[in-house]
Amino acid sequence: MSTDLSATDFPHRRLNPLTGDWILVSPHRTKRPWLGKQETLPHANLPAHDPKCLLCAGNKRMNGELNPDYKGTFVFTNDFSAVLPEAGQLPPDASPLLHSEPVAGVCRVICFSPRHDLSLPQLPVAAIEGVVNTWADQITDLGKNHKWVQVFENKGEVMGCSNPHPHGQVWATNTIPNEPAKEDRKQQEYFAKNGQPLLLDYLATETKLKERIVVENEDWVVLVPYWATWPYETLLLPRRHVQRLPDLTPAERHSLAEILKRHLTRYDNLFQVSFPYSMGWHGAPTDGGNHPHWQLHAHFYPPLLRSATVKKFMVGYEMMAEGQRDLTAEQAADKLRGLSEKHFTEA
Ligand code: H2U
Ligand code: ZN
């Protein structure tokens, strides 16, 4: 069964089964002129090592500590952690409408490589595999005494990233945050009803239709989800039922590094710019429970819409009503699929 092509011509809403949210799709609007804000381009020609960078090897961080002369990945406790290992004592709620709860946790920064100038897709596959192993090790380590370990990367100034040195973060908490809590509920509901993980059924549908797949290999698939909200949003997921990143075999970690390189190279090639995004991993909570309804996946939320300098703003209707997009998920997937896997800086 193929999607009704006329759906790309008129406004409609699509349901995100992972969160229960709807997204308004307005494909007839893509031709509207743009007189709004233009973003500045990220700096090209960065040095391999920047003596002023807080994350480069051998340099001093803001808290006065010296970074070691690291060769692969380097993980340190965030000097400005959003959560702290000891939960404070809160006063009792003054009213049921003024409710709070304590939160304890750990925030760490992960430098992907000593190279200040190379983002993930520009690193060799072996170095990306080192990043994958670091992500998995962090989840194993922090998952021992935290319910949720959020691995993420904020890339690019437009996403509020403070430093061009390629890095990600990990925040672990003794609470399950909003987004994974929604996904947990929806996957659980689906599993109870259908006896199958939601995302595995979804993947089977997408691999049959082939309308939204961007890139795939023996273990992994990258697609633009049917319910994508950000213009070039993608979902990366393993073909096999995997609950958490540390459960991946060495071969799956290697093929993950390979698909990340291919996928992120396409992203950079789209507008010939180091492509900004927020990405993050979602897997089963590390609360000691068995969660057969969970399927590991990564979300990529890039803000760019029509060029390296025109960003999609999630404001107005999106803030007050629901997410909205002009370009359809199928158009975005077509565009990404057609791009070269040779990085534009090497061309
Ligand atoms: P971004 O990925 O949002 O740019 O964040 C980088 C993190 O690095 C940020 O959370 C931390 C900041 O607190 N950091 C340090 O811990 N020490 C430093 O010396 C620089 C930045
Ligand atoms: Zn640096």
Do residues 22 and 13 make contact, with C-beta atoms less than 8 angstroms apart?
A: yes
CA of 63, closest atom in ligand 1: 19
Name the residue with higher pLDDT: 347 or 210.
Answer: 210
Q: What gap in Å lies between CA 321 and CA 331, rounded to an integer?
A: 24
How do residues 73-115 score in pLDDT, each as one tens digit? 999 999 999 999 998 899 999 999 999 999 999 999 999 999 9
Confirm or reject: Cβ of 257 under 6 Å from ligand 1. no
Active-site hit among 116, 146, 165, 167 = 167
Active site residue 167: yes
> Which pLDDT band holds residue 309 (cuts at 50, 70, 90)?
confident
Tell me the CA–centroid distance for residue 67 and ligand 1, in Å. 13
Q: Whose CA is nearest to atom 3 of ligand 1?
A: 161
Confirm or reject: Cβ of 52 under 6 Å from ligand 1. no
- Kindly identify the ligand whose nearest atom is closest to the C-alpha of 49: 2
Q: Whose CA is nearest to atom 7 of ligand 1?
A: 109
Q: Whose CA is nearest to atom 13 of ligand 1?
A: 80
Q: Whose CA is nearest to atom 1 of ligand 1?
A: 161
Tell me the CA–centroid distance for residue 153 and ligand 1, in Å. 11
> Where are the alpha helices (H) located in the chain, listed in sequence order?
125-143, 178-194, 198-209, 250-270, 317-320, 329-337
Tell me the CA–centroid distance for residue 110 and ligand 2, in Å. 12
Looking at every residue in the chain, the average pLDDT score rounds to 93
> Which pLDDT band holds residue 30 (cuts at 50, 70, 90)?
low
CA of 81, closest atom in ligand 1: 13
Residue 31 has pLDDT above 70, yes or no: no
**Using the 8-state DSSP alphabet, how is residue 323 labeled?**
E
Nearest to 139 by CA among 243, 219, 233, 240: 243
How do residues 182-204 score in pLDDT, each as one tens digit? 999 999 999 999 999 999 999 99
What integer pLDDT is reported at residue 37 of this predicted model?
A: 67
Name the residue with higher pLDDT: 267 or 157.
Answer: 267
What integer pLDDT is reported at residue 1 of this predicted model?
A: 45
Do residues 26 and 331 make contact, with C-beta atoms less than 8 angstroms apart?
A: no
What integer pLDDT is reported at residue 256 of this predicted model?
A: 98
Provide the 10 A C-beta neighbour count for residue 154: 17
**Using the 8-state DSSP alphabet, how is residue 31 labeled?**
T
Predicted model pTM: 0.95
Tell me the CA–centroid distance for residue 46 and ligand 1, in Å. 19
Confirm or reject: Cβ of 80 under 6 Å from ligand 1. yes
Q: What gap in Å lies between CA 209 and CA 3, rounded to an integer?
A: 8
CA of 161, closest atom in ligand 1: 4
